[in-house]
Structure 1
Amino acid sequence: MKNIENLIQKALELQANGLVTRQIADELNVSRETVTWLLTRAKKEDVSTAPKDISVNWSSIGKSAYRMRHIGIAMCDMVLDTVEATGNDIDLVVGIGLSGVPLASLMADELDTELSVYHAYGEHEGEAKLKGAFSRNFAGIKGKKCIIVDDVITTGNTINDVITHLRSSGAKPLAIAVLVDKTGSDALSDVPVHALVRIVRVD
């Protein structure tokens, strides 16, 4: 119960700092439904049962550049098996902001590729589709063969949005690399998912 109370407190703090539901979900590595439940639970004692979700805290990795570098190398190793089997070369690593960018940067350095950054933004209540854009301050995506990097896959919506953007620009997404996959997916939009940790709920 203490962990839930800590999540509620953190969600309230992030909301007080002006973050919207999607941003709080990204920061806590939980679904938007879970964030709504946490914020509602803080206001009422008697709330319906919690959504089925798992909070991921990888701060013990994120606080150390040394650990991040080695995790990035492990993630490179995971995707290279798939990419090399297809006979493709990687031109670009796409980091999903905010938490995927440090890992993507390390991986781009390790793979000697260009780096692109995707920012998810905009959210309409009741709408599952996210909106986003690639930053103009990083490499372009047109016609590139790329891998997509994020920290956690919660629902897959953001990565599916990235894949749609990439394909509409003539880019070819070859693989997805993440620390944790909460969906248990082997692929998203026909792009293989490689996760250091895959969480499977058994009910």
Structure 2
Amino acid sequence: MYSLDELYNKALQLKNKGMSDKEISTELHLSVNTVTWLLARDFTKQKNVQDVKIGWRSVGVYGNRIANLSQIMLDIIEEESADGDYETDSILGITVNGIPYATMISYFLDKELIIYKPHPSRKDGYFSSNFASVKGKKIIVIDDVCSTGETLRRTIKDIREEGGEVKLAIVIASKMQEDEIDGVRLRSLFRASLIGKE
């Protein structure tokens, strides 16, 4: 658990290393708006932040724990595939944190692996040429945390523009209340919700 001062110091440290607010938000599992708010030190004036920090480091430090969470994601994928009556060609991992889970799931399912890297400042990203291509593929998108849905929306848009079809998006934790994003079913292992009034 981080205090606001600790989060600020961590965000500032990453900013000083040349990371963009978007990259910092991915690293700290916060929304971009929260990172901008932190770095502006607005929290010294206003303490009621509208975000939830998601930390899963206890899982991420051991491969067997990543494999175990991936097995749960795989179970959800199989459930959704049966309900939607569709097959999948490829598993796409969004860098950085979606890659380990996507890799495990592609291994379990014996499917191609696609790697997508969103650009930190532009509204697009790119697919790594070292992995499978997107065109003509039925794809499941894997990431760690969905905060505002911006990264997933960009990913879905870029997949469609490259001629792929997104069948499902699955994340470890979602801060969104919606079960769909740009017409794609969104599933998560956990959903974080703010409750109460400001």
Q: Normalising by the residue count of structure 2, what TM-score does the alignment of the two structures yield?
A: 0.93
- 1:141-177 CA distances to partner (integer Å, 9 max, x unpaired)? 1010110000000110111111111122221111111
Matched, 1:168 2:161: yes
Tell me: CA distance 1:170–1:8, structure 2 relative to 1, closer, same or farther (3 Å).
same
The CA deviation at 1:190 is 1.2
Gaps of 5+ in 1: 125-129
Amino acid at match of 1:10: K
The CA deviation at 1:31 is 0.8
The corresponding residue for 1:131 is: 124
Q: How many residues align?
A: 196
The answer to whether the 8 A contact 2:171-2:188 is kept is yes
Within a 5 Å distance, the mapping from 1:83-98 to structure 2 comes to 83-98=81-96
The CA deviation at 1:46 is 4.1
Amino acid at match of 2:38: L
Gaps of 5+ in 2: none
CA distance in 1 between counterparts of 2:102 and 2:2 reads 33
Within a 5 Å distance, the mapping from 1:54-133 to structure 2 comes to 54-123=52-121, 130-133=123-126
CA distance in 2 between counterparts of 1:46 and 1:13 reads 18
CA distance in 1 between counterparts of 2:146 and 2:116 reads 15
When structure 1 is superposed on structure 2, of 166-175 and 181-190 the one drifting more is 166-175
Amino acid at match of 1:61: V
The CA RMSD measured in Å over matched residues stands at 1.7
The answer to whether the 8 A contact 2:23-2:120 is kept is no
The corresponding residue for 1:37 is: 37
The CA deviation at 1:83 is 1.3
Q: Normalising by the residue count of structure 1, what TM-score does the alignment of the two structures yield?
A: 0.91
